[in-house]
Chain A
């Protein structure tokens, strides 16, 4: 596979790179180092620019009004969009828009009218409620939130944790167990309005990602009608699983973008900084760190583009998505760590973005399926289904 960008892709890459360097980074210099939002006026102004570029709503499918950009190109652009301080989790502060939760495209026509289209118009925000206090890596077994049949609907009871944006969203997609005897075939996906009685955002959960909090949710006799079932009863796990696999590719791209930015900073610093009468760049110890950075970045980029290319062709890409997520999150963490080491004391300060990337990149080895689960997915694939 040839992963050199085409002329058209390169033009888009250059456009986004200029946008990040000329619009985002200068604004970011004035914000708190942990900021995750732009001033609303700046945000609105930049959204107009991304619309003029024809790149707003980049992840929205063409049939819903998106710009019809293939997944490989989207990965190349996602790598660029992440190359600023907040870029790992808030690429370009959301000025390129978003498609919302992928699952909501599976909704029926009535649900699309009530949730999907308002989300695409920016009128509604959603949260994704999967992980529970009992675990997140094995949702098929860990989900203890129950939904029981009552009054032509369902009553939910249980808790979710590490849920982003639940306190600000108008609705969420929530997974609950509807048949305790069926394991992964007993989970159903519900759309829950945030003002439904019995739905509570109980507390803020502080993490390494101090720019943004997660929340803990409680469902206490929370009744919803049959109209709120997304997809089919007891087939919710497939909806969650498909999303988790697809999400791994852009997740990897963000890690690569930050790794590139950290590596470029380290190269520049190594050429400039003199210690004991010698530039850092002339010292073998530093050269090898930079070489290892380069190898980690190229490896992750190759695997991520390979996964994207298979997805673009409609081929199975589960194993490739796991390899991409694994190499990009682990390699990206190593790159940021080495780049901090090269910067010495300055690398530890909030004057530079490295310390934020270091903290946020650590989460990437756990989020969207930890490294161990990715290895498990790959092992199952290469050892075959007779493993157990």
Chain B
């Protein structure tokens, strides 16, 4: 049994056309700048009208062009979001910059 800890799919351009292809499902996502530097780890919860699509549309509206994203459809969006944040913190010693501005209560994880 393999357990996937990190979200490491290929980056996609954060554009209206690409976002329109996303499912309206729950899940987690990451946004990076044009060079691939991770800026934030987000979640699309059940209050988002069209799930991942709504959240990435909001990200595009707030950030403008020149960014990238990747998503993972996941019904367990909350625990997966916490997991991705803790794994990032364990890997890099800090949270992504946008998450660090308002960090959620996180535990300590030391993935082997």
Give A residues with C-beta under 8 Å from B.
Answer: 32-35, 37, 165-168, 194, 200-204, 206, 210-213, 215, 218, 350
Besides the contacts A201-B107, A201-B109, A202-B112, what 15 more A-B pairs have beta carbons closer than 8 Å?
A32-B45, A34-B46, A201-B110, A203-B5, A203-B109, A203-B111, A204-B82, A204-B83, A206-B76, A206-B80, A206-B83, A210-B78, A211-B79, A213-B82, A218-B112
Chain B neighbourhood of A167, CB < 8 A? 86, 106-109
- Please determine whether A32 and B107 come into contact, CB atoms closer than 8 angstroms: no
Show 5 A/B contacts (Cβ-Cβ < 8 Å), sorted by A.
A33-B47, A35-B78, A194-B108, A203-B5, A204-B82
B10 within 8 A of partner (CB): no
Number of B residues contacting the other chain (C-beta, 8 Å)? 22
B93 within 8 A of A: no
- 0/1 per residue, B38-69, Cβ < 8 Å to A? 00000001110000000000000000000000
Max chain B Cβ within 10 angstroms of own Cβ: one of A35, A202, A204, A206: A204
Cβ distance A163 to chain B, nearest Cβ, rounded Å: 11
Task: State whether A34 and B86 are in contact (beta carbons under 8 Å apart), knowing that A202-B110, A218-B112 are contacts in the complex.
Answer: no
Task: Say if the beta carbon of B99 comes within 8 Å of chain A.
Answer: no
Query: A218 CA to B110 CA in the complex, in Å?
Result: 10
Instruction: Tell me whether A201 and B108 are in contact in the complex, defined as CB-CB below 8 angstroms, given that A33-B46, A213-B82 are known contacts.
Output: yes
Contact B110 A212 (CB under 8 A): no
Q: Is the interface of B mostly helix, strand, loop or mixed?
A: loop
Task: Give Cα A213 to B83, complex, Å.
Answer: 9
For B5, the closest partner residue in chain A by CB is A203
Q: How far does the alpha carbon of A206 sit from the alpha carbon of B82 in the complex, in Å?
A: 11
Chain A, Cβ-Cβ closest to B110: A200
Q: Do A34 and B78 contact each other (CB < 8 Å), given the known contacts A203-B3, A350-B46?
A: yes
Q: Complex: how many Å from CA A168 to CA B106?
A: 7
Q: Hey, which chain B residues are within 8 Å of A211, CB to CB?
A: 78-79
**Nearest 3 A/B pairs, CB to CB:** A167-B107, A350-B46, A213-B79
B76 touches A210 (CB 8 A): yes
In the complex, the chain A residue whose C-beta lies closest to that of B108 is: A167
Smallest Cβ-Cβ distance to B47: which chain A residue: A32
Q: A32-B78, A167-B86, A210-B75 are in contact. Are A202 and B105 (CB under 8 A)?
A: no
- Residues of the B chain whose Cβ atoms lie less than 8 Å from the Cβ of A218: 112
Q: For residue A355, which residue of chain B has the nearest CB?
A: B46
| CB-CB nearest in chain B for A202 | B112
Which chain A residue has the least Cβ–Cβ distance from B107?
A167
Closest to A195 in B: B108
CB distance from A218 to the nearest CB of B (A): 7
Given contacts A200-B112, A204-B79, A206-B80, contact A33 B45 (CB under 8 A): yes
Among A200, A213, A218, find the residue whose CB has the most chain B CB atoms closer than 10 A. Answer: A213
- B residues near A350, Cβ cutoff 8 Å: 46
Against A, the Cβ 8 Å flags (1 = close, 0 = not) of B69-112 are 00000011111101100100000000000000000011111111
- Bound state CA distance, A289 and B6, in angstroms? 45
When distances are taken between beta carbons in the complex, the residues of chain A under 8 Å from B106 are 167-168
A34 to B108 alpha-carbon distance, docked (Å): 22
Complex contact A32–B46 (CB within 8 A): yes
Chain B nearest CB from A363 CB (Å) reads: 14
Bound form: Cα–Cα A34–B81 in Å: 12
Cβ-defined contact, B110 with A168, below 8 A: no
